[in-house]
Amino acid sequence: MTQAKYQRILLKLSGEALLGSQNFGFSREALQLYANEIKDIVGLGVQIGIVLGGGNLFRGRTTHQLGLTSVTSDQIGILGTIINALAFRDVLTSVHVKSVILSAREIPGITEGFEQYKAIQYLEQGYVVLFAGGTGNPLVTTDSASSLRAIEINADILLKGTNVDGIYSADPDVNPHAVLYHHISYDNALQKQLAVMDITAFSQCRDFKLPIRVFNIFEPGVLKRIIQGEPIGTLVSEGE
């Protein structure tokens, strides 16, 4: 068995990653795929925290059409991430992976509240920890929740699963000559204004020297290959 390169990771899964081929909600097939891959990683002895987005259930950009304020919109999004965590927990349980939901907004009888030391204790006991509720605050993205939780649990790396192969010099769907970066520094990514994650989250990763790997989450087996050290996608870290 190939040894894992990382002992503890934070995986960011957007709500869109849970859609599969659907336009709304979550795909059982997508959740099952991720659950099986996470099971493989747990088998390597890796401790896993996961931040879930809520864009498969509610997107903030629809708020103006609905007449909602930004704060209300984000509060709905916070609830969406909790719904996703509940669904994913059950799928993980179905493949015999222990998991627990720690939410920035505790709901008695449904989720536990987030505490840093509690999260680390669960990780050390072999649980996959699902971080729900974002940061608990409106006007803050789940990207920021990802960087925050990764730093709080002392993760070795933040893995951001997307629908593209990594970070490109331009939108590859628009520019066929866009170049895929295999490695780029924090400062260079900022200078080039590359869309890695929101600026607050990205700056936090830079300040705490937390490496980020951006990759295509839909590629089968990709998580295990990354954990075993394959240079898949784009690594953002210090230096070039």
**Does 47 score more than 90 pLDDT?**
yes
pLDDT in tens, 91-112: 999 999 999 999 999 999 999 9
pLDDT attached to residue 63: 66
Report the top-level CATH class of 8-237: alpha beta
Would you say 225 and 161 are in contact if contact means Cβ atoms under 8 Å apart? no
Q: How far apart are CA 164 and CA 215, in angstroms?
A: 7
Q: How far apart are CA 161 and CA 157, in angstroms?
A: 13
Across the chain, mean pLDDT equals 92
Highest mean pLDDT among 2-6, 125-129, 201-205: 125-129
Helix (H, G, I), strand (E, B) or coil at 189: helix
DSSP string, 203-215: HHHHHTT--EEEE
- Top-confidence residue, 191 or 113: 113
117, containing H or E segment: helix 116-124
Q: Which residue ranges make up each domain of the chain?
A: 8-237
Name which of 58-62, 68-72, 106-110, 233-237 the model is least confident about.
58-62
The pairing of beta strand 167-168 with beta strand 180-181: antiparallel
9-29 average pLDDT score: 88
The tokens describing 27, both together, are 């795909």
* Helix 142-152, helix 199-207: angle, nearest 10: 20
pLDDT attached to residue 62: 64
pLDDT in tens, 9-18: 999 998 888 8
Q: With bands split at pLDDT 50, 70 and 90, how would you rate the model's confidence at 197?
A: confident
Would you say 111 and 79 are in contact if contact means Cβ atoms under 8 Å apart? no
- Top-confidence residue, 31 or 62: 31
Share of the chain above pLDDT 70, in %: 97
The neighbouring-strand residues paired with 131 are: 51, 102
**Does 80 score more than 60 pLDDT?**
yes
Q: With bands split at pLDDT 50, 70 and 90, how would you rate the model's confidence at 216?
A: very high
Residue 128: closest CA among 53, 52, 51, 49: 49
pLDDT attached to residue 27: 85
